[in-house]
């Protein structure tokens, strides 16, 4: 009967189901809800996560990460050695590595690719990821023109030597970032100048990559489909017949598509109310895990009264972070007592911040505002989004209740908010930071005097010196101790209020095998399969 009615509807509405462009995917294809339409697929041009998820299928760096432990594992390089001073990395490339057109992947390809990213005219926003390399920064800023002076060379086709300016304990992690992916020189040059962005080389049929998959289809705003690369050196670990990336922007649409069986994986953006539903109904499909990311508020320390560290600490101590994660965000977030999230390598952020309304009131009185008297009205700025608003309202109430001060809430559309924050046109602004690699420096640099991402106006030469010192320290424990000291120092000055550590909330169909949750939300496709028996 159902089918009769459905058939009737079909005919009655004039065969709206008629075909126009595109076709449905065969069974067994992994369908991933990927947020937004990618700006491009050129790994040296793009900046976003949706692009990176596709590039992870199309390209491969010197090393990769094990998605369970996040430890570096061999990729194009099958072996590497690091000199005792931590300054020279020598990579031995596997001879069987191939581009998707069958060409061998050579050390020269990497030299070419690093040079391309560092060429000023390309405008690669992530070029700074290569700055630890000798003279990379100078070349990128146009201070030197001779790339031979940059610390990358290929003594033979299967050996790549990289020299660093200072020891970088996380350097291997940088090499599987998309900015360090190799690109195929003849392909790039066939479609325009090396350092020209936006040429046609990334179109289906043109793109030559060295990853486990090749680009088959790119329908704008509809989907991107990749299929296995027959020349890939580790083709045996590829079990998916294809992957489709769907640019679904709306979180509710994405969730309906998952429930309706049109998506196998939904990455992020699940409404907290839906989290409850999945906990009850499909606990196997709901994956909530800690993320390497922090949600925080920045003070504009150039403006009174926020130029007084006692005021900043008072406001920070009057926020009940437990209440925010338990009653407002409700999605597995953890209260943050410092800016840096804990990581598996053993960095423990100092417990520098606790909820203590008594002490907060005392500090505020000491700063000259007993019971909030005379405290000037101020604004909390956030970009327009329901969750940011809910959090801001909760914090506004806590400040009112515990400190008797009035915060006004101002929400702005994303780009307006970014412009206001960058120009220092705010009192207190919401911010978030997602770590690119597992190392505390990632977060602590946000507070350095030289970071473009430090909007607070606060800086301290002692803090910058500690970071500098940690760059030269090779022993992990001693290095972490320096960084902890730096973080403790910053948290005493409190130019930012850490609020919570994000969580990764994903929906992964029960049929997907080999998909591992981790801090970096890093999901390579090798070893992933779609179990059709459970369908």
Partner 1 sequence: MLRFIAGRLLQAIPVLWVIVTLTFFLVRLAPGGPFDTERAVSPEVRAALEAHYGLDAPLWRQYLDYLAGVLRGDFGPSFKYANRSVTELIAAGFPVTAELGLWALSIAVLLGVGAGLIAALRPRRWPDHLAMSAAMLGICLPSFVLGPLLALLFGIVLGWLPVSGWGLTPGDKILPALTLGAGYAAYLARLTRGGLLEMLSQDFVRTARAKGAGELRVLLVHALRGGLVPVVAFLGPAAAGLLAGSFVVETVFQIPGLGRFFVQAAFNRDYTMVMGMTVFFSTLIVLFNLLADIALVWLDPRLRGAAGQGGGR
End-to-end Cα separation, the chain, in angstroms = 24
DSSP 133: B
Distance CA 482, CA 490 (A): 12
Closer Cβ to partner 1, 14 or 102, answer by number: 14
With tokens 């050695």, the residue in question is: 81
d(CA 337, CA 523): 28
- Binding of residue 226 to partner 1 (CB under 8 A): no
Q: Cα separation of 472 and 252, whole Å?
A: 48
| 274 scored as a contact of partner 1 (CB under 8 A) | no
Binds partner 1 (CB under 8 A): choice among 190, 385, 418, 534: 418
> Contact region for partner 1 (CB under 8 A) — 134-142, 177-185, 340-348, 397-405?
134-142
DSSP string, 258-278: HHTTS-SEEES---HHHHHHH
Between 90 and 451, CB nearer to partner 1:
451
Of 109-117, 135-143, 484-492, 521-529: span binding partner 1 (CB under 8 A): 135-143
Looking at the Cβ atoms of 94 and 259, the one nearer to partner 1 is 259
User: By CB under 8 A, how many residues form the interface with partner 1?
Assistant: 70
Return the number of the residue (126 or 399) whose C-beta is nearest partner 1.
126
d(CA 107, CA 303): 52
Joined together, the tokens standing for residue 279 give 């906990």
Angstrom distance (rounded) from CA 185 to CA 187:
5
**Two tokens, residue 395:** 């914090």
141 binds partner 1, rule: CB under 8 A = yes
Residue 202 in tokens: 């990334």
13 binds partner 1 (CB under 8 A): yes
Nearer to partner 1 by C-beta: 230 or 432?
A: 432
CA 100 – CA 74 distance, rounded (Å): 19
Q: Is 28 exposed, middle or buried (0-12, 13-18, 19+ CB in 10 A)?
A: middle
Which of 253, 289, 404, 471 contacts partner 1 by CB under 8 A?
253
Residue 265 has phi, psi (to 5 degrees) of -140, 130
Interaction of residue 200 with partner 1, rule CB under 8 A: yes
Q: Which stretch binds partner 1 (CB under 8 A): 196-204, 331-339, 392-400, 510-518?
A: 196-204
**Residue 377 interacts with partner 1 (CB under 8 A): yes or no:** no
**Which pair of tokens denotes residue 124?**
């690669």
Q: Of the listed pieces 148-156, 200-208, 355-363, 492-500, which binds partner 1 according to CB under 8 A? A: 200-208
Q: Which segments within 145-254 are labelled E, that is strand?
A: 152-156, 159-163, 213-219, 223-228, 243-246
Q: State the nearest-atom distance from the C-beta of 393 to partner 1, in Å.
A: 23
CB atoms within 10 A of CB 377: 9
Query: Using CB under 8 A, which of the segments 244-252, 283-291, 371-379, 498-506 binds partner 1?
Result: 244-252
Q: Can residue 189 be called a binding residue for partner 1 (CB under 8 A)?
A: no
Site for partner 1 in 61-120 (CB under 8 A): 120
Q: Is 40 in the site for partner 1 (CB under 8 A)?
A: yes
CA dist 29 and 10 (Å) reads 27
Residue closer to partner 1 by CB (options 86, 457) is 457
Give the shortest CB-16-to-partner 1 separation in angstroms. Answer: 4
Cβ closest to partner 1, residue 81 vs residue 143: 143
> Could you give the 3-state DSSP secondary structure of residue 336?
coil
Q: Name every residue whose Cβ is closer than 8 Å to that of residue 300 and which is 6 or more positions away in sequence.
A: 306, 424, 426, 427, 428, 429, 455, 456, 457
Asked if 26 touches partner 1 (CB under 8 A), the answer is no
Contact segment (CB under 8 A) with partner 1 among 125-133, 476-484, 497-505, 509-517 equals 125-133
| Residue numbers 442-481 binding partner 1 by CB under 8 A | 451-453
92 alpha-carbon distance from chain centroid:
29
24 touches partner 1 (CB under 8 A)? yes
Q: By CB under 8 A, is residue 282 in contact with partner 1?
A: no
Chain residues in the site for partner 1 (CB under 8 A): 2, 5-6, 9-10, 13-14, 16-24, 36-37, 39-40, 42, 45-47, 120-125, 127-128, 140-142, 196-200, 202-203, 219-222, 246, 248-250, 252-253, 256-257, 259-260, 262, 413-420, 422, 432, 451-453
């Amino acid at each position: 009967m159902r089918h009769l009615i459905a058939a009737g509807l079909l005919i009655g509405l004039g065969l709206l189901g008629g075909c126009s462009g595109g076709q449905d995917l065969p069974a067994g294809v992994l369908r991933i809800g990927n947020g937004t339409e990618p700006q491009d697929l050129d790994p040296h041009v793009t900046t976003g996560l949706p692009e990176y998820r596709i590039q992870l299928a199309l390209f491969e760096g010197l090393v990769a990460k094990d998605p369970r432990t996040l430890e570096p594992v061999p990729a194009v390089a099958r072996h590497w050695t690091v000199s005792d001073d931590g300054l020279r990395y020598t990579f031995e490339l596997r001879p069987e590595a191939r581009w998707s057109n069958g060409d061998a992947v050579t050390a020269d390809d990497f030299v070419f690719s690093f040079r391309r990213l560092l060429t000023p005219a390309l405008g690669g926003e992530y070029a700074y990821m290569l700055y630890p390399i000798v003279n990379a920064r100078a070349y990128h800023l146009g201070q030197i023109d001779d790339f031979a002076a940059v610390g990358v060379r290929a003594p033979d086709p299967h050996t790549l030597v990289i020299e660093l300016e200072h020891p970088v304990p996380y350097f291997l992690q940088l090499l599987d970032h998309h900015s360090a992916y190799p690109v195929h020189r003849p392909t790039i040059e066939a479609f325009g100048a090396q350092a020209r962005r936006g040429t046609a080389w990334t179109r289906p049929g043109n793109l030559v990559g060295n990853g486990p998959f090749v680009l088959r289809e790119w329908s704008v705003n509809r989907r991107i489909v990749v299929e296995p690369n027959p020349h890939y050196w580790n083709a045996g670990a590829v079990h998916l017949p294809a992957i489709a990336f769907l640019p679904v922007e709306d979180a509710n649409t994405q969730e309906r598509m998952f429930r309706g069986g049109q998506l196998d994986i939904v990455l992020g953006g699940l409404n907290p109310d839906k989290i409850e539903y999945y906990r009850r109904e499909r606990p196997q499909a709901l994956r909530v895990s800690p993320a390497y990311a922090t949600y925080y508020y920045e003070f504009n320390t150039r403006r009174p009264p926020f130029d007084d560290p006692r005021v900043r600490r008072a406001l920070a101590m009057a926020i009940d972070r437990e209440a925010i994660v338990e009653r407002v965000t409700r999605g597995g977030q953890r209260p943050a007592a410092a800016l840096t999230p804990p990581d598996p390598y053993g960095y423990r952020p100092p417990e520098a911040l606790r909820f203590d309304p008594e002490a907060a009131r005392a500090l505020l009185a000491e700063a000259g505002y007993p019971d909030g008297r005379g405290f000037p009205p101020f604004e909390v700025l956030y970009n327009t989004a329901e969750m940011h608003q809910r959090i801001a309202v909760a914090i506004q109430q806590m400040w009112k209740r515990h400190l008797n001060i009035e915060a006004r809430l101002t929400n702005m559309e994303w780009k307006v908010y970014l412009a206001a924050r960058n120009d220092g046109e705010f009192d207190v602004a919401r911010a978030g930071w997602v770590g690119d690699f597992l190392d505390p420096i990632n977060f602590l640099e946000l507070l350095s005097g030289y970071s473009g991402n430090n909007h607070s106006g606060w800086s301290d030469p002692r803090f910058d010196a500690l970071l500098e010192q940690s760059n030269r320290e090779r022993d992990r424990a001693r290095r972490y101790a320096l960084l902890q000291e730096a973080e403790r120092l910053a948290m005493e000055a409190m130019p930012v209020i850490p609020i919570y550590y994000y969580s990764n909330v994903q929906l992964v169909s029960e049929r997907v095998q080999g998909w591992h949750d981790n801090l970096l939300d890093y999901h390579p496709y090798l070893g992933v399969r779609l179990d059709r028996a459970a369908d």
